[in-house]
Chain A
């Protein structure tokens, strides 16, 4: 069973369209995240979300919105897509760190979004 699964794996769409990327985790983690990886492979946090709190990176345009129907799902909805939104989007989940260094994020395999 895949721990963190994202769909679709590839998404090609025209400028101005609205699209969603789905993410599901079966690890029982409390927190989920969305990261954007640009063409230079730089990974940047977009959102983190648990049952209590949504933290939004201030640089993320409000065209991007996370939607969580339950603890195991965090979908990413994007309105009015722009050329610059083309990137690979990764979903991830995590346990609280506690005092351990053995935990970390579990990432999905990514969704490659191409806006034309």
Chain B
């Protein structure tokens, strides 16, 4: 059973355009929602993350929108650049407060930004 569903599987965006990736989750106990960026041959790197007490978080060109009632969250990349071409993963976890938290990842979106 996949607990975090991510779409689309692949995305092609023109340079300067907006890239939007969506995720939906099932477990209402999730309370931490990060996005990771992975380039070929590298490990995933934390891009931006949100807690459910806010509906939006912005860092530079990257914005997370969070809808708790719909159990959905999305990543918006404004002014997309060719250097943003990578695979993006949404994830979610509970926080047991003891320090260890296991991320459940979506299946990833391969973003290609064309000049």
Interface, chain A (partner B; CB < 8 A): 4, 30-31, 33, 40-45, 48-50, 52-53, 55, 90, 92, 94-97, 99, 101-110
- A contact face: mostly helix, strand, loop, or mixed: loop
Q: Which residue in chain A gives the minimum CB-CB distance to B64?
A: A101
Is A48 a contact partner of B105 (Cβ separation < 8 A)? no
Query: What is the CA–CA distance of A95 and B2 in the complex, to the nearest angstrom?
Result: 26
Interface Cβ pair total, 8 Å cutoff? 75
B12 interfacial contact with A, CB 8 Å: no
Is A43 a contact partner of B105 (Cβ separation < 8 A)? yes
Is B43 a contact partner of A104 (Cβ separation < 8 A)? no
Is A40 a contact partner of B46 (Cβ separation < 8 A)? no
**Chain B 84-115 interface residues, beta-carbon cutoff 8 Å to A:** 87, 89, 95, 97-105, 107-108
Interface, chain B (partner A; CB < 8 A): 32, 34, 36, 38, 41-46, 49-51, 57, 87, 89, 95, 97-105, 107-108
Q: Which residue in chain B gives the minimum CB-CB distance to A41?
A: B108
* A residues in contact with B41, CB < 8 Å: 109-110
Can you give 26 A-B contacts (C-beta < 8 A)? A31-B99, A40-B107, A41-B38, A41-B107, A42-B108, A43-B44, A43-B105, A43-B108, A45-B104, A50-B99, A52-B98, A55-B100, A55-B102, A90-B43, A92-B43, A94-B100, A94-B101, A97-B32, A99-B51, A101-B50, A101-B57, A104-B36, A104-B46, A105-B103, A106-B46, A108-B43
Q: Which residue in chain B gives the minimum CB-CB distance to A6?
A: B43
Is A101 a contact partner of B32 (Cβ separation < 8 A)? yes
B56 to chain A, nearest CB (A): 12
Query: What is the CA–CA distance of A113 and B71 in the complex, to the nearest angstrom?
Result: 36
Q: Which residue in chain B gives the minimum CB-CB distance to A94?
A: B101
Is A48 a contact partner of B100 (Cβ separation < 8 A)? yes
On whether A110 and B42 interact (CB within 8 A), knowing A42-B107, A101-B51, the answer reads yes
